Amino acid sequence: MLRPDDDIVAIKYFTAMVTGSTRSNQETYLKALATLSSVEVVLGKFKKKRVACIEPSCSHLGNRLFETVEEKRTDVNIAVSMLDDAYQNACDQFVLVSGDSDLVPSVSLIRSRFGKKKIIVYVPHTPSPTSTRGFAVELRYAAHVNRDLPINFLAKAQFPTQIPDGSGGLITKPLSW
């Protein structure tokens, strides 16, 4: 839907497996993606860490620490994959859907080492009367072309409610989506 005139060679979806109540939804989505031969799923991971609450609303709690999780390796996996594809001459252009400024060094390196390869960045964001295109400025600047990807666009790009799983069964979209 984003690039109807492009010859798509591969789609790589980078994520990490969540924990908790939404994991089964994510597993269902990844099973649906696996039915598409052009899609490769690349997994990072979540790492537990302890952080102190620094919000003013936490001041009455003192130096209380909370356990949370942080997604790890996803940005590195994207960067390494892009560089590998560039060195392997696997594509003429990259379409990156991200707003992560950690990807700026790899985008910049590809631009400097592979001058004929084009990098297009779509930055997801929620349109609002007060929003601006100021999100992901460094990443936008590093790419050849940048565009906003309105979050409401994603609703138009979803799988149907049920799809064949490739082995005679069906994958059903969870009701909570």
DSSP type of residue 166: S
Rounded to two decimals, what is the model's pTM?
A: 0.84
Q: For the ranges 89-103, 127-141, 156-170, which has the lowest average pLDDT?
A: 127-141
Tens-digit pLDDT profile for residues 33-68: 999 999 999 999 888 888 877 776 666 666 677 778
What is the mean predicted confidence (pLDDT) over 142-162? 90
Q: Which residues contact 8 (CB under 8 A, 6 or more apart)?
A: 38
Tens-digit pLDDT profile for residues 99-138: 999 999 999 999 999 999 999 999 988 766 555 555 789 9
**Helices 74-87 and 104-113, packing angle to 10 deg:** 10
DSSP type of residue 73: S
Question: 176: which 2 tokens?
Answer: 């909570």
Q: What 3 state SS string does 4-41 have? A: CCCCCCCEEEEECCCCCCCHHHHHHHHHHHHCCCCEEE
Q: Which residues contact 135 (CB under 8 A, 6 or more apart)?
A: 99, 123, 125
DSSP type of residue 158: P
